[in-house]
């Protein structure tokens, strides 16, 4: 009995070539039929379509219109810095703070001064310029730079301060609902 040529030899390739050609022809025919005929079913009416996951998709939120920063919002931001951040008038700071700042503290706990707001002494503040990042009808985001007086051994720092308008009509007022340092990654010093 003669030995068969290995698959990778010239004679082996010639022997398997018709089979490979037939497989390519079948695959091509199936692909053609799928592309040409595709899904011939009629689409379901909109009312009978079931949403994916069983719940309807949420409608996208409308784009908020940018407005100039309300002077009352700027005033609340300044008062928050002089009260909560400086720990000068914690009762007033309580009224200016929203639930995200208060973090479930009671007024009694808040008045101890152990609050989730970074401290910066009022007598060390030279200036506190504010930059408006976002300003909408009912919310705003500011960057506040607390710059120390000359000769004071405290470094200046920039904070994000988020404001939110609560209530309606004459009862509406601004509160601070976010206050956190804006940090940037440390830049390593290259070895010499």
Q: What percent of the chain has pLDDT over 70?
A: 83
Residue 192 has what pLDDT? 67
Determine how many CB atoms are found less than 10 A away from the CB of residue 141: 15
DSSP category for residue 186: P
Pure H helices in 71-191 = 71-80, 90-96, 99-102, 107-110
SS3 call for 117: coil
Measured between alpha carbons, how far is 84 from 120 in angstroms, rounded to an integer? 9
Buried b (16+ CB within 10 A) or exposed e, 95-125: ebbbeebbeebeeeebeeeebebeebeeebb
Contact status, residue 119 vs residue 87, Cβ threshold 8 Å:
yes
Q: What is the mean predicted confidence (pLDDT) over 3-23?
A: 73
Residue 8 has what pLDDT? 63
pLDDT at 49 over 60: no
Q: What is the mean pLDDT of the chain?
A: 84
Q: What is the mean predicted confidence (pLDDT) over 153-182?
A: 91
DSSP category for residue 68: P
Q: Which of 41-45, 64-68, 100-104, 135-139 has the lowest mean pLDDT?
A: 41-45
pLDDT at 31 over 70: yes
DSSP category for residue 65: P
Instruction: Look at phi and psi of residue 104 and say left if phi exceeds 0, alpha if psi is from -120 to 50, else beta.
Output: left
Q: What is the mean predicted confidence (pLDDT) over 7-25?
A: 77
Residue 60 has what pLDDT? 76
Q: What is the mean predicted confidence (pLDDT) over 3-21?
A: 72
DSSP category for residue 82: I
Q: How far is CA 182 from CA 11, 42, 145, in A?
A: 73, 55, 10
pLDDT-based confidence at 144, cuts 50/70/90? very high
Looking at the structure, give the CATH architecture of the domain made up of residues 71-181.
Answer: Roll (3.10)
**Would you kindly state where each structural domain of the chain is located, as residue ranges?**
71-181
Residue 69 has what pLDDT? 92
Question: Which is more confident, 2 or 152?
Answer: 152
């Amino acid at each position: 009995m003669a030995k068969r040529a290995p698959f990778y030899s010239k004679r082996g390739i010639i022997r398997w070539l018709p089979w490979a050609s037939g497989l390519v022809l079948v695959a091509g025919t199936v692909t053609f039929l799928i592309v040409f005929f595709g899904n011939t079913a009629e689409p379901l009416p909109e009312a009978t379509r079931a949403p994916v996951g069983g719940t309807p998709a949420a409608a996208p939120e409308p784009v908020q219109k940018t407005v100039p920063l309300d002077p009352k919002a700027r005033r609340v931001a300044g008062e928050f810095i002089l009260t909560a951040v400086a720990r000068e008038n914690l009762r007033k700071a309580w009224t200016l703070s929203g639930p995200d700042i208060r973090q479930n503290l009671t007024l009694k706990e808040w008045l101890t001064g152990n609050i989730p707001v970074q401290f910066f002494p009022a007598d060390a503040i030279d200036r506190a310029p504010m930059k408006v990042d976002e300003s909408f009808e009912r919310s705003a985001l500011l960057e506040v730079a607390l710059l120390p007086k000359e000769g004071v051994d405290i470094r200046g720092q920039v904070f994000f301060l988020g404001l939110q308008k609560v209530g309606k009509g004459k009862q509406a007022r601004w509160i601070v609902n976010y206050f956190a340092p804006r940090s940037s990654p440390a830049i390593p010093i290259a070895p010499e």
